[in-house]
Structure 1
Amino acid sequence: MQKITVITMGIPTGEAIRSQLTALLEGKVTVETRLASEVEQPILHADLLLFSSEALAKVILKNGEPSIPWMVARRVINHRNIGDVISLPRGSRVLLVNDFANTAREARDQLVEIGLDHIEYLLYSPGSPLPFKAEVVITPGEVDLVPYPPRRLINIGSRILDVQSIHGIVQQLGLEDVFTKSVVTGYLKDIVTITHLIEEKRRAALASEKQLEAVFNSVDTGLIHVDEGGRVVNLNQRGASLIGKKRKDLLYQPLDSWLPLENHFLTDGHSWIADLEGRECLFAVRKISFDDRLGYLITVGDGDQISKWDHTIRRSRQKSMQRKRHDFQDYLTLHPEMKLVLKRARQFARTDATILIQGENGTGKEILAQAIHQHSLRKREAFVPVNIAAVSPSLLESELFGYEEGSFTGALKGGKRGLFEIASGGTIFIDEIGEAPLSFQVKLLRVLEEKRIRRVGALEEIPVDVRVIAATNRNLMQMVDQGDFREDLFFRLNILPLKTIPLRHRREDIPYLLQHFCRISFGRHQHIDLADLFEAEALVFLQQHRWRGNVRELMNLVEYLSLIYEGERIGMEALCGYLPADKPVPELPLLNRDEYWMLQQIDSCGGTGVGRKMLTSLAEEQVYPLGEGKIRRLLMELTEKELLASAGSHQGCHLTRKGAALLQKWRNVGVGMDENDQ
């Protein structure tokens, strides 16, 4: 019996060819497969060498031709395995993976040749650059060569021998009697069957496509269909018209190549307004899926539709704001006076009266405002914040009160609602009220008194039901005396006053907040000992720092420290490289770690009658690195500092009043502090 040796780069290709030849020439030949990596010596015991590709033959035969006949196989796509490729949507971009660049090109050309030209093939083989990270990957049996896990993998199986190659093998082995008409007929029958299947699916897809296209273009709204990567798959004529470009110039292009986008624009329910060469268009996103493929449908509206959609968009933004609201428990404090402020804020929440919150930047004024809204009867309605300092004075009135169509150049058709209208039924939080121009203060005073607003360019007033919470970091009474703030507006705002307390005036909150933020930034969600994280001098520095930025400054510092942390205790050099250089006057004598340990041990033993030998025993039990000699020296030093005093001959020593007070202050600096212990 004659023997054929098939040489391939991969096992799947060899198995596919072996199975095909065995089925065709059963009982006439034996077929073995060899990987190219295994061909080290010349193959002598075969009647025919069959290489799976011309490139492979060149590599194997570079040192000369073998003494036995050989040929290169011509291979074609296995028609039985292409059903999944037929079903791919027109215009899809797929990655085609094969073992060599030329075999990848051959596979693509053959797919196109049999009619699968409705998709775009991007080629990849080992060693070549990845052209595009497509969601769909097609490979003729080379699954192991796929460079990443795709959303969908279509394995069309290794390519099989074409009729011409089979005829050549039969001739070479003198087996013409086996190569009957039935073999050719069966092979061609498969091709005809698959061809009919392609045509049927193509006709059905074309009919569906035309039907969908008709519906798509009959809608008066602009529609854009994009894939998960933000590439335009389809859009209707109305959408192209609103955008101001030809449809053919937008198809299959990345959305961000022609449209100004916001961050996270491909999010279900997201809406934004973009300026397209002087025309304002509104874009709204809806997530869709089809055949396990994700995508997005974007609706496009012009100025006429923007005003109609305005309410929906504002409500959507309102829901987003609601998700981010703070409550009273988010205001972390141990300070008695600040706790009293929170208690008053809870009481004020139950009324509709105007509240004025005064305090330095970083003391949590907006947290208070949100918490008040959350505990009010308006908690299910909108909470709308606005920072006066962030709005141009010329736009302040139109931003808060809205405007009518045509009231100024660039005004939207249909006009625009202001923040007071949007907040109607809920709460408006006006931050940095001290930055409001005098001309605007007059109009705001009228709104607070009359509960009505007048849009810019309008004649009629609109009633609004809104609760006002204002905040400032400035001394408004001093501004009143200087003529920079209206006295009547101040008293209209200051019905229910609240004042936050700077961090430097509530020192007990410093270690409490420091520990809280360290848990978050350092990823330690359980108990954290500040003495293990910071050097003693650094903790004293933090306790005495002025904290001009208050809690915000402390929070930012911890985030900074977490990024530079390398496992060692944080010292002064790390702090001085970040915090402003306002050197505090030390209020606490500095203690090193050993002195602090000594005072703790004496205190834990009752504060009196503790001698050198007992301290030595305690150090040994706790495996603390202090010997008897060093303990003797420390006892003398602490006595000189008037922190310890002798209890008499052989009676040991005890903490002085100064020593006990200092130890307690050091404990308050943060050693062993825990929220649950407060």
Structure 2
Amino acid sequence: MKKIIMITPGKVTSINLAIQLENIFGEYTEVKSYCLEDDLDFDPTNALVVLSSPNTMDKRIQDLIDNGLEYIVAQRVINHRYISELLNLPRGTEVLLVNDRPESSHEAMVQLQALGVNYIKYYPYYPGIASYPELDISVTVGEPHLVPFGVKKVINIGTRQIDIVTVVDIANRLGLMKALGDRLSSQYVNHIINLLNRINDTAKDMRIISSRLETVANCLAKAIIYINKSGDVIVSNQEMCNILKCSYEDIVGKNIKDILPQILKINGHDEVDIIRIHNKELFVTSNVIEGKGSEDGIIYTFEKSEEIEKNEHEIRRRTSENAIRTNYYTFDDIFYKSSNMKDLINKVKSFALTDSTILIQGESGTGKELFAQSIHSASHRASGPFVPVNFASMSSSLIESELFGYEEGSFTGAMKGGKRGLFEEAHGGTIFLDEIGDASLDFQCRLLRVIQERQVRRVGGLKEIPINVRLIAATNKDLASEVRKGNFRADLYYRLNVLPVRMLSLRERKQDILVLANLFLQRYSSGKISNIEHALEIDAINLLYEYDWPGNIRQLENAMEYIANVWRKDKKLSVRELPEYITHSSDKLEGSILIDILGNNTIWILRKIMNFNGLGRRYLAELAKEEDIDLTEGKIRSLLNSAEVLGLVETNTGRKGTVLTEKGYKLMSSINNIK
């Protein structure tokens, strides 16, 4: 009885092919396996040597053949039983084909393509190869240990098997055709049928997927065209047919230059343009398909301009719902009694009816945001968003991305998909730039451009996004003075200062102290105190009028909250029971020899000059009239001359008027206990 000797270059292949031969011939003959690394110590008597390939022939085997050894060089084929996973790879997938030798790698590639798996891009890999692409998927024919490091997915389709022709030749050589002939033919036919069934099932699945994709494409509101490298249209949809006013057959299979030559200039990654088809403007986006599991080419997406506008409006409406609310402050929420406050509100109400930029300047605590919200509520933008931005509380490193938004990947930590900025959030409404005087000079330059162009560009973006916003800015700084000092851009100041609003300090509207005090006391006492006279002795009430309230309404509110907490129903509070910052200030003013020397009128003038960083006599006279203080322009001139002799003030020509000297600042700081 003859024996079969299987010889291959590698050990793994030798074992696998010997198993195949054992399954077929093991009942009738002995099968042994060797590789070229082994000592070929078999007895050649009655041996049929099967070589896995011509490359297996070395000198030792050639010597045996020269001495009469009977041999066969096997033909080998892909083992189709293990290619299911390979059949599931998308068209155009790039893979490394891994084998032990260059010849066997190329041979496996040729056989896979001949088998019909020719829609995959194969790149050979074998030990010692000089260069190869770094891919995520490798296909190996029974050599997974040779797969290079870094490959994420390995598909092992098994060692290539000895084909039916070689098997029949072996059976003939062994004299076993009579015993094995019928079985070999039926097994071969079975293998072919199984392979065809698998291919048929895969084709059926592909047809189902194709049908589903066609349904999805036709349900899209956007028109699409997918072209290959040659410019031939591979896929389109019904919306594209509607735009071009032609049938599906008139598009698919045709070259794009014959259908839409104007889009050939749009061929980059995420490139956009606007084209006109049949007098309709269309927004076109291109997306290059390359090495993504499909045939290389370009997908063009077309969207009607009116649809973009409609969708943008809906997106902005929905995403701005959190910013829009119905309880913004209105002018009815501002409580006052003084005539100068009434005049200010009437003027600002007329500003609200316009779309011009407003600059609100005033001391801290005077209600700048209250006025800004009231302006918004009285404007035609009342149904839109009101978006406040506080420059004093915002990090300089984040301010641009917060106001203008950013694109995905523009910096570490950027949200996927990017983020809309606050200017975009305010589209159709009002953006309130509070504490604008704290903005850096670099940012002021960018803000100026946004105000001029009414467009924003996101951080990391290339597109200009149009915005429709009403702009209100506010600051507790004297921006004109900041411009002179070089801390604020003059061009930005003039862009903001279209409609100027100067907020009144509480010192300028002392008639309103009682009105506001009663309001705050009722709020913080839960209605238990309806009038300040029920909570304070008359001396304490008078002291509230005399106090200068450097923190304005916010400080008055805090004082009333304090009183509401310490008040007891059976006893009114005295002067000594008021907050210390009020009583200490009173002690200093009453006991100060400076006030006795200078007089209350001079102190009042110096305080105004300090608060406004310089004032002219005429404006001081107007303020005195508003506060019902008996100071004419002539009296003010006389008092200022005396203060100048004492070195407390210096007189300038122009709008700035009289300003405090360093000595004057120290004096007033001492009196007010304010640094």
TM norm structure 2: 0.43
| Larger CA Rg, structure 1 vs 2 | 2
